[in-house]
Structure 1
Amino acid sequence: MAVDTTERREALARLDVLVGEWVVEAEFPGLEAPPQGRCVFEWGLDGAFLVQRMEAPNPAPDSMAIIAVDPETGGYTQHYYDSRGVVRLYAMTFTDGVWQLLRERPDFSPLAFRQRFVGEVGEGGDVIRGAWERAEVDAAAPWERDFVMTYRRSGA
C-alpha cells in the first residue's frame, strides 16, 4: 500500500507542533542540576522533511536528525546522526500528542541494546516531557530509564 501525496502531506502536517526553537533539559542520574541545551526543528527541502538540530546538554552529544514519511507505510522514520559519528535509524510515531522513537534492530551499526524515547506534548504544545530508555537486545528484557529529557519552547 503506497502512500499518496495527500496522505504524506497530512502526516508531515501532524509534526508542525515540533517546529521552532526549544530549550532542552536532560536529567542524568548522578547530576544535581539538569544541564540545558538547544534544539531547533525546521522544515527542509520545501517541507519534504523535518530537520532536527540539537546542541545537546552535556554529557549528551550534539546531533542532527531528519524525519521522513515512509512512502510505503505512511509511518515516520528518523535518521539520526551525532557528533560521536553515531548513525541510527529509528521507527517513529507521533499520535495524540505522544512522540515515540524506537530502535530494536541493527541498522548502520550493530544493535548493542534496544532504545526508545517516549515524550508527551503538553501545555498547549510548548512542553514535551519524555525519557530515553534502553533494554538488552533480548525482546523479553525490561526497559530501564536512561535519562529524562524535557523540551520547552523558547519564549514560552
Structure 2
Amino acid sequence: MAEQHPALARLDVLVGRWTVQPKVEGLGAGWTEFTWIEGGQFLREFSDAEPLPETAPQAWRENNPLPVTSLIGLDDAGEEFSMLYADARGVHRVYRMTFADGRWRLWREAPGFHQRFTGTLSADGNTIDGRWEKSADGVDWTLDFELTYRR
C-alpha cells in the first residue's frame, strides 16, 4: 500500500470517537467514530445513536438517518476531499470537502436540494461546533440544524 498522502494527515484530528449533540429540542446525543482504513488511504466515519425518544420532533423520527456510514478520500490534484455518504433511509450522497486551519467544510449541489456544512475545531481539538444549511436553488440558504461534536 502506498504511503499516506500528506493532505490526508490533516484529518488525523478527527480520528476517534465523538459525542454528537444536535441542537434540536427533544433530541439526545449520538456518537460518531472516525477510523483510518486501507492503510490510511480512506477515513471511515460511522455514526449512530440510541433510538429517538418520543419527545423527538415527528419530522426527525420519520426521517432518522441513523446509522450513517461515510468514506472520505482525497483528490490529490487540488487536495480536495470527497465524502461518500449512505444512511439507514437508503439515501446516498456525494459531498465535496475541505479541512484546513481548524475549519471543516462539506457541500453538495444537487437539483432541488443543495447542502453545506461548516464546522470549527476548538483550539484544544476536542470540540467541533457545526451547522448544516440547505437550499432549494443554491442561492437562498436556511439553517437546517446546528450540532456539536465533543471528545
Same fold (TM over 0.5): yes
1:113 Cα shift? Answer: 1.1
Residues 72, 56 of structure 1: CA spacing in aligned structure 2 closer, same or farther, 3 A cutoff?
A: farther
**How does 1:9-88 map onto structure 2 within 5 Å?**
9-28=5-24, 31=25, 33-56=26-49, 58=52, 59=60, 60-62=64-66, 63-88=68-93
SS at match of 1:67: strand
The 8 Å contact of residues 69 and 75 in structure 1, kept in 2 or not, is answered as yes
Contact 1:24–1:56 (Cα < 8 Å) also in 2: no
Secondary structure of 1:125's aligned partner: coil
The letter for the 1-side match of 2:19 is V
How far does residue 34 in structure 1 lie from its aligned partner after superposition? 4.5
Are 2:129 and 1:129 equivalent residues in the alignment?
yes
Question: What whole-Å deviation, never above 9, does each CA across 1:56-104 have from its counterpart, x for those lacking one?
Answer: 4743412010000014332100000100000000000111100000001
Structure 1 CA distance for aligned equivalents of residues 140 and 83 of structure 2: 23
User: Quick one: which amino acid aligns to residue 10 of structure 1?
Assistant: P
Any gaps of 5 or more consecutive residues in structure 2? 53-59
1:139-154 counterparts in 2 under 5 A?
Answer: 139=138, 141-153=139-151
DSSP 3-state at the match of 2:39: coil
Which runs of 5 or more structure 1 residues have no equivalent in the other structure? 106-110
- Give the residue type in structure 1 aligned to 2:136: E
Aligned residues of 2:34 and 2:44 also touching (Cα < 8 A) = yes
Contact 2:11 2:99 in 1 (8 A): yes
TM-score relative to the length of structure 1: 0.81
1:93 aligns to 2:101 (yes or no) = no
Q: Hey, which bits of structure 1, 4+ residues long, moved more than 2 A?
A: 56-60, 71-74
Give the TM-score taking structure 2 as reference length. Answer: 0.84
Identical aligned pairs, as a percentage?
A: 40
**Would you say the 8 A contact 2:112–2:135 is kept in 1?**
no
Secondary structure class of the residue paired with 1:17: helix
The alpha-carbon deviation at position 123 of structure 1 amounts to 4.2
Is the CA contact 1:75–1:92 (under 8 Å) kept in the aligned structure 2? yes
